[in-house]
Amino acid sequence: MSSKIAVMADPDTVTGFMLGGIKEGFPVKNMEEAGETLKKLAKEYSIIITTEKIGDNFRETIDKISSESALPMIIEIPDKKGSIDRESDPIRDLIKRVIGVEMVE
Amino acid sequence: MAQEMIEGINPTRMELLKLKQREKLAVKGHSLLKEKRNALIMEFFNILERVKGSRENVNLKLEEAYQDLTAAQVSMGDLAVRKAAMSVTESVNVDIDARSVMGVVVPVIDSETKKRTITERGYGFMDTSVKVDEAAKKFEESIQLIIELGEIEKTIMLLAGEIESTKRRVNALEHIIIPRIENTVKYIEMRLEEMERENFVRLKMIKKTIETEEVNG
């Protein structure tokens, strides 16, 4: 099964990824529309690349989508301004909760 | 210690047999679940080996890519870069398969990013800067890394969820359900023994009465 990849991010990031060879770019102009776009994309694409900023804005939607089934996978990447400094890495927290000790440096 | 028991159980032999059956089943289920949990955790550790540093790799690669992109935008203008981006041909080919780890379906991504030469990318050379080529190359590489990262993180999330629920079930069986059944079994056995003794005493008493009646009569 061949799967489709989409990028949903700010215009610059979308341009970059289109240069890299992903044809389905969805520039986000304002945050209100992004939530709707995200829901629509989740039905159609199996990999969605988005930025951490958008991810933070739609944390609930993303959590809901990714907990429902294995696909689509939503990957958050830092945007042009660099990654957001978070107090904790969600993956690391998860690992800590499951294993009980800090594993990944 | 107040011992937890199953409520509303009649101390009869029928119930005792039924409970013993249930206890056997619960113990069996407990050991199976424990094995499942251990296997999942082992798998989890394997994945953890792969996640180390992959987030950082992606971030570093992307940072370089953004720098080149910005440089291209500066030298050519925003619009021209976007125009070039529009005409780039598709490069990524992704196959998603599912693999089952102890009943948890995790994705396995088989991605294939073509390493393209400059001519294959599909934009013209007349009006593009060399920075565009650099940026395109770096973005191609980062896409590959990002897809890999996505697969790993997704797998971790799915496995973690399953491990948590399995853990909870193992603990519930171990600390609540099995002790409760054991206590109830013990209670029924004690009640039955007590009834036996009562009956014994009763029989003795009756025998005694009959004997005295016979002597007197």
Q: How far apart, in whole angstroms, are the C-alpha atoms of residue B87 and residue B122?
A: 6
Q: Which residue of A has its CA nearest to B140?
A: A20
pLDDT for res A90: 72
B164 and A17 within 8 Å at the Cβ level: the answer is no
Dihedral over Cα of B112, B118, B122, B127: its sign: positive
The SS3 call for residue B23 is: helix
CB proximity B129 to A under 8 Å: no
Asked if the model's pLDDT at residue A105 lies above 60, the reply is: no
Evaluate whether residue B106 is within a structural domain: yes
> What is the tens place of the pLDDT at every residue in A46-70?
888 888 888 877 788 777 777 776 6
The total domain count for chain B is 1
Q: Which CATH number goes with the domain that contains B129?
A: 1.10.287.3240
Does B95 map to a domain? yes
SS3 A58: coil
**B140 and chain A in contact, CB less than 8 A:** yes
Please indicate if any CB of chain B lies within 8 Å of the CB of A99: yes
Q: Are B88 and A17 in contact (CB under 8 A)?
A: no
B139 close to B67: Cβ distance less than 8 angstroms: no
Query: Cα-Cα-Cα-Cα dihedral of B68, B70, B74, B79, to 10°?
Result: 110
pLDDT of residue B123: 73
Q: What is the structure's pLDDT at B128?
A: 75
Instruction: At A93, list the tokens.
Output: 């927290």
Residue entry with tokens 């949990």: B37
Burial A25-60 (b: 16+ CB within 10 A, else e): bbbbeeeeebbebbeebbeebbbbbbbbbbbebbee
Kindly state whether A100 is in contact with chain B, defined as any CB-CB distance less than 8 angstroms: no
Residue of A69, A67, A105 whose CA lies nearest to A89: A105
DSSP assignments along B44-73, one per residue: HHHHHHHHTTHHHHHHHHHHHHHHHHHHHH
Q: How many CA atoms lie within 13 A of B64 on its CB side?
A: 15
Q: Which among B62, B73, B161 is the nearest to A78, CB-wise?
A: B62
Q: Which of A21, A37, A3, A102 is nearest to B141 (CA)?
A: A21
Tell me the shortest Cα–Cα distance from A89 to chain B, in angstroms: 10
Nearest residue in chain B measured CA to CA from A1: B95
- Tell me, yes or no, whether B202 lies in a domain: yes
Is position B217 within any domain? no
Asked, for residue B47, whether it belongs to a domain, the answer is yes
Using a CB–CB cutoff of 8 Å, tell me whether A63 touches chain B.
no
In whole angstroms, give the CA distance from residue B131 to residue B123.
Answer: 13
| Residue matched to tokens 């240069």 | A19
pLDDT of residue B2: 53
Domain range spanning residue B18? 13-211
End-to-end CA distance of chain B: 54
Domain contains B1: no
In the prediction, which pLDDT does B1 show? 47
Q: Is residue B162 part of a domain?
A: yes
Chain B residue with the nearest C-alpha to that of A105: B52
Q: What residues pair up with A8 in beta bridges, in sequence order?
A: A26, A50
Cα torsion through B51, A7, A56, A30, rounded to 10: 170
pLDDT for residue B17: 93
Q: What is the pLDDT along chain B (217 residues), one digit of tens a residue?
A: 456 788 788 888 898 999 999 999 999 999 999 999 888 888 888 888 888 778 888 888 888 888 888 888 888 887 877 777 777 777 777 777 888 877 888 878 777 766 677 666 777 777 777 777 888 888 888 888 888 888 888 888 888 888 888 989 999 999 999 999 999 999 999 999 999 999 999 999 999 999 999 888 7
Q: Is residue B97 part of a domain?
A: yes
> For residue A1, is pLDDT > 60?
no
